[in-house]
């Protein structure tokens, strides 16, 4: 464990709970893409199948349980409890256009052709594009609530911190995973446009609104 990965994991945890609290407190999921949340739930479920078979540490197991539970809870709040506030008219990204190609790629490009490894690879590839429905929804509505932009900033920062973690681990531990690094770069690059808007607008107390 290193500081980049620890802060990255905490940033990820913060993002998930900021979103969960926003929906719970405001009793509304306006402006939030349910499709992205479904993809994130799929990412965690396919990645953490080794939860009971491969014990790493209390921290590792605890975080896996929290990530799965909080994301499933978010999907539940969006599609069941506060379904009436779900903005399906703007959450129209065709996620099958993400899941199918990512699934095919996981079969073709992986470290080891075994079910658990292919599912892990699928999860890594899917996570790199899972935010697209959310970014697409913001581009359609033309703006995002401030709390939603904080959610996105924390979520985008987590994988950017993981990139620093992989640089650290490469030089100090000789650890390198090309699949995770490439997917992590794609994932972080997708946030660049948002990071620019967040830093130039939200940081100065303005609302995040995309140029019309």
Partner 1 sequence: QMSSGQKDEL
Q: Which residues bind partner 1 (CB under 8 A)?
A: 5, 9, 12, 50, 54, 56-57, 60, 63-64, 67, 111-112, 120, 162, 165, 169, 173-178, 180
Residue 174 or 205 having the CB closest to partner 1? 174
Residue 116 or 189 having the CB closest to partner 1? 116
Cβ partners under 8 Å of residue 12, min gap 6: 67, 154, 155, 158
Q: CB of 61: closest distance to partner 1 in angstroms?
A: 10
Q: CB of 9: closest distance to partner 1 in angstroms?
A: 6
- CA distance linking residue 187 with residue 181, whole number of Å: 10
Partner residues linked to 209 by β-bridges: 143
- CA distance linking residue 21 with residue 26, whole number of Å: 8
Residue 183 or 202 having the CB closest to partner 1? 183
Residue 38 or 68 having the CB closest to partner 1? 68
Selection from 45, 35, 56, 47 nearest residue 106 by Cα: 47
Residue 14 or 29 having the CB closest to partner 1? 14
Structure tokens at 62: 């605890």
Q: CB of 194: closest distance to partner 1 in angstroms?
A: 22
Q: CB of 59: closest distance to partner 1 in angstroms?
A: 9
Q: CB of 142: closest distance to partner 1 in angstroms?
A: 34
Q: CB of 176: closest distance to partner 1 in angstroms?
A: 5
Placement of tokens 């033309």 in the chain: 142
Q: Give the Cβ contact number of residue 158 at 10 Å.
A: 23
* Local structure of 115: helix, strand or coil: helix
CA geometry: angle 69, 151, 191, nearest 5 deg: 115
Residue 94 or 111 having the CB closest to partner 1? 111
Cβ partners under 8 Å of residue 162, min gap 6: 4, 5, 8, 180, 184
CB of 16 within 8 A of CB of 69? no
């Amino acid at each position: 464990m290193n500081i980049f990965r620890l802060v990255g994991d905490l940033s990820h945890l913060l993002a998930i709970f900021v979103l969960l609290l926003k929906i719970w407190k405001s009793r509304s999921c306006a402006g939030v893409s349910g499709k992205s949340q479904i993809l994130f739930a799929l990412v965690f479920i396919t990645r953490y199948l080794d939860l009971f078979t491969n014990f790493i540490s209390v921290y590792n197991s605890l975080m896996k349980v929290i990530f799965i539970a909080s994301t499933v809870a978010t999907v539940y709040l969006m599609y069941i409890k506060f379904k009436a506030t779900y903005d399906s008219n703007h959450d129209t990204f065709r996620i099958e256009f993400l899941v199918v190609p990512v699934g095919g790629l996981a079969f073709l490009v992986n470290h080891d052709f075994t079910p658990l490894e292919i599912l892990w690879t699928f999860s890594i590839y899917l996570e790199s594009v899972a935010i697209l429905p959310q970014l697409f929804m913001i581009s359609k509505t033309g703006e995002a609530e401030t709390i939603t932009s904080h959610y996105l900033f924390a979520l985008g920062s987590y994988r950017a911190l993981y990139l620093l973690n992989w640089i650290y681990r490469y030089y100090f531990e000789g650890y390198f995973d090309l699949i995770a690094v490439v997917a992590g770069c794609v994932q972080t690059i997708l946030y660049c446009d948002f990071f620019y808007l967040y830093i130039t607008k939200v940081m100065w107390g303005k609302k995040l609104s995309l140029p019309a």
